Every structure is written in C-alpha cells, then in structure tokens.
Amino acid sequence: MKKPQLGQTPRVLFDEEAIRRRVDELARQISADYAGKGEVLLVGVLRGAFLFLADLCRRLTIPSRVDFIAVSSYGDKTVSSGTVRLLLDLRGDIRGRHVLIVEDIVDTGSTLAYLHHMLGLRDPASLKTCTLLHKAKADAKGTPVDYIGFEIEDDWVVGYGLDYADLYRTLPYIGVLQVNG
Ligand code: PRP
Ligand code: 7HP
C-alpha cells in the first residue's frame, strides 16, 4: 500500500451510529454465547482497540474483567513489518479463564496469530477472538476469528482507535485515507 497524504480528512466509512449499532449487536451475541459460563476476561490489544473495548465491555450483560496487552508491528508505516513486538504483557494469569482477545483490526493477521498462539500456551479454559474490522485479504494463519464487526476492503482505515503514524486515533468515526498515486 502506498503512503497516505497527511492532513487530509478521511472519507467516512462507518459513522458513529453505524459503529454503535454494530457494537451493540456484537455485545448481544457475545453475551448470549458466554451466558452461564462464568466470567470472561476481555484482553484489549493496545493501542488500537481501546475505544472498541471500552464501548463493547459496557454493553455486555455477562460478568467480565478487562486486561491489556500491547503489541506493535506497523510503527509509522502502512505495511506490516511482519514482526510483532510485545510491548506490554497482561497483568494477570489466564490459566483456567475464559479469554476473549479484542482487536480493532485484523489486516495481515500476524498480530492475532501471534497473540492467539502466545495466550493459548498459558492454558486458558477457552480462547476466542473478536475484531471490529476484518480485511477480506486477512490470513490469520489458521487462527479462528470468532466475532467480526465489519468486513472491509484493503484500504488504510483510521479513527475510533485506529491510526496512521499515531494520527487520527481519536476520531469518533472510521474513515478511509486516500493514498498517493
Ligand atoms: C495494528 C492494529 C492491530 C494490528 C493489525 O496495531 O491495532 O493490532 O495492527 O495488523 P495485522 O493484522 O497486519 O497484524 P499496530 O501494530 O499498528 O499498533 P497500534 O495498535 O498501537 O497502532
Ligand atoms: C493496521 C492498521 N491500522 C490502521 N489502519 C489500518 O488499515 C491498519 N491495518 N493494519
């Protein structure tokens, strides 16, 4: 993917209302699936998933806790380095717990595959994955993606937690950045 021009206003892909409706639906589905199973531990993947997780967790009707993990593979680029760096590990032990990884986006799938493998080794009672956005081209290397908010094309999307070079993250909507060329 070529470089987005900085300073542009992103084209709206999902406005606040569309995001709210879809997050509501996901929360209902997740609450139904986990009902009666006890507590779910939501693992938010920083930094991109912070807004999605905040909205999702408040709409769940099941008992839940929250922990965070931070990874990075893009830096200031729009092409994955292919190497996922663990910047911050979970605070708590996940052995015997129902764990749901909460991502903002699955693009190449490298991050989710890395996290699923790493957390799976820690012996959780169950391990599922949820992402707000999923690129059609994503190849999560066999990692199941259990809950998907929206399927999207291979555009560079920003807002609602997603960034380009650490910009645009705080936009309330999800938009597409135009690329040069
Ligand atoms: C982004 C995003 C996902 C990951 C998805 O994180 O938040 O975690 O990339 O890409 P992939 O499917 O190609 O691995 P990034 O490394 O940019 O860190 P950030 O969330 O702190 O911006
Ligand atoms: C990571 C990421 N961050 C923001 N927008 C996208 O389209 C992205 N793909 N992978």
Ligand 2 environment, Cβ below 6 A: 74, 105, 107, 156-158, 162-163
* Residues contacting residue 20 through CB under 8 Å, at least 6 positions apart: 55
For residue range 2-56, list pLDDT tens digits in order: 678 778 899 999 999 999 999 999 999 999 999 999 999 999 999 999 999 999 9
Closest Cα to atom 6 of ligand 1: 72
Q: What angle do CA 107, 125, 70 make, to 5 degrees?
A: 40
Which residue has the CA at smallest separation from atom 17 of ligand 1?
A: 74
Residues 6+ apart with CB under 8 A from 90: 43, 67, 68, 69
Residue 109 CA, closest ligand 1 atom number:
12
pLDDT, one tens digit per residue, over 110-155 is 999 999 999 999 999 999 999 999 998 887 677 999 999 999 999 9
Global pTM reads 0.95
Say which ligand is closest to the CA of 137: 1
**Closest ligand (CA of 71):** 1
Q: Identify the nearest ligand to the CA of 145 by its number.
A: 1
Q: Catalytic annotation on 107?
A: yes
Catalytic pick from 24, 107, 123, 139? 107
Q: Who's near 149: CB < 8 A, 6+ residues apart?
A: 22, 23, 26, 52, 131, 132, 133, 134
pLDDT reported for residue 142: 79
pLDDT at 79: 85
Quick one: pLDDT at residue 48? 97
Tell me the sheet residues that pair with 167: 164
Unique residue bearing structure tokens 């991502």 = 103
Separation of CA 40 and ligand 1 centre (Å): 23
Q: Distance between CA atoms of 6 and 102, rounded to whole angstroms?
A: 28
Please, how many CA atoms are within 13 Å of residue 106, restricted to the half-sphere of its CB? 30
H-only helix segments in 46-127: 50-59, 110-120
C-alpha of residue 107 to centroid of ligand 2, in Å: 7
Q: How many A from CA of 36 to the centre of ligand 2?
A: 35
Distance of CA 34 to the CA centre of its chain: 19
